[in-house]
Chains A and B, each alone.
Chain A
């Protein structure tokens, strides 16, 4: 079936629509509608020329339709819509990478576990329920472990809200001092911490005697926190 060419009629309609970015969609919408009507008339038994005239008659005056469409497709609203849409697309694109990073680090942090020290038997553990928020980062100390090779280990986690108003640094907790009564017997130590908005880590200090009474570490700048090592000890034999 030969479909008539509505080009002239459609051009006449579109000449009234000032918002040019909508011309394509209006053109195809009207064209499809006219073709559907045309096919209907042919199916009903009309001759091709007759059907073509009937379609144009049904559609009405091109200038009138054009004016109505121009009002419906207001250029002011059209431009606002188009600019906002483009801005939205750009924002979605530039958010893809940070969002991907956020999801990835979140997934990693779910599976991120504390390391298990296998080279020395455990002597005692202390459950520590310490939590402190410094600006946008929350520091949580879970447990202190003491091993037969005189290693003291602190297991902790940090959480920083990814949408908070701060640059995200990978903060770790380092053991600053270990005391027997008030005598400092060791300072400094090693450790490791995962990367992410939520991350677990540990901090170790070697050569810590069994009778150490206190451990101190720094939480952010100029904020030293002390934990008593004499209370809450659960000996490995008991557990």
Chain B
């Protein structure tokens, strides 16, 4: 066959095969492409905005989006040097419900992040309790304060050494305005007062 004709045939077939490989193998050219494809697959989204991309291990990252007032958290990883795919192994959080005024969640790798629907809140304080399973009565405590950005999103790393298979949870959350005044509380304060989404339930 004439070489020119062969080149034309190659030019037609190559994009089709590339498309087939990307779709069947679930690869994309960008980390965001995989993020949005994962959202579609899970049946929600697309996120209105990508709030952050955080490095995990080498070649892997966690992409966080905002989707209708909730967080969309999806880990991705590089493939073949130039492509991206969903991170193999581990958990895909997907849509993380943020039903409270301030919602904070813990993620693998000692990360804490969350959203607030209250525009006045500019800073979020979290008290995290953690420890070995079976030792829930006397947990270790880590406190941290995070700045809220214009999307109501906050992020921080509360520990770089914590193992993921330890018991850990956010015991108490506080939201403060720009003057430093606490305007929101959720969970059990260190004084033993229990708030549920800003409302005192048990004293």
Contacts and interface: CB of A to CB of B under 8 A. Distances in A.
A91 B27 CA distance: 14
A136 to B, nearest CB: 6
Given A78-B3, A87-B14, A162-B24, A134 B86 contact: no
A132 B14 CA distance: 34
B41 A220 contact: no
Contacts of B11: 84
A199 to B, nearest CB: 15
B168 to A, nearest CB: 26
B91 to A, nearest CB: 13
B17 A95 contact: yes
Contacts of A171: 43
A230 interface: no
B151 interface: no
Interface stretch (B32-40, B131-139, B152-160, B191-199): B32-40
Nearest to A160: B41
B6 A81 contact: yes
Contact of A167 (B3, B14, B41): B41
B44 A221 contact: yes
> From DSSP, what is the main secondary structure of chain B's interface residues?
helix
A168 B21 contact: no
A210 B41 CA distance: 36
A92 B4 CA distance: 21
B7 A95 contact: no
Contacts of A95: 17, 20-21, 24
Interface in B1-29: 3-4, 6-7, 10-11, 13-14, 17-21, 23-26
Contacts of B41: 135-137, 166-169
Interface of B: 3-4, 6-7, 10-11, 13-14, 17-21, 23-26, 34, 37-38, 40-44, 86, 95
A167 B19 CA distance: 14
Interface in A60-103: 77-78, 80-81, 84-85, 87-88, 91-92, 94-95, 98-99, 101-102
A239 interface: no
Contact of A168 (B10, B14, B26): B26
Given A134-B43, A167-B40, A81 B3 contact: yes
A80 B3 CA distance: 10
A25 to B, nearest CB: 12
A237 interface: no
Q: Which 10 A-B pairs have the closest CB atoms?
A: A220-B43, A98-B24, A166-B40, A167-B41, A91-B17, A84-B10, A166-B41, A167-B38, A163-B23, A135-B40
A119 interface: no
Contacts of A165: 23, 37, 40
A222 interface: yes
7 contacts: A77-B4, A95-B24, A98-B21, A162-B23, A164-B23, A166-B37, A167-B38
A102 B24 contact: yes
B17 A92 contact: yes
Nearest to A168: B41
Contacts of A166: 37-38, 40-41
Interface in A158-199: 162-169, 171
A98 B27 CA distance: 12
Contacts of B44: 220-222
B21 A221 contact: no
Nearest to A223: B43
Nearest to B43: A220
Nearest to B16: A91
Nearest to A135: B40
A38 B41 CA distance: 68
Nearest to A90: B17
Contacts of A162: 23-24
Nearest to B4: A77
Contacts of A222: 44
Contact of A91 (B6, B21, B23, B38): B21
Contact of A88 (B14, B40, B42, B86): B14
A44 B10 CA distance: 45
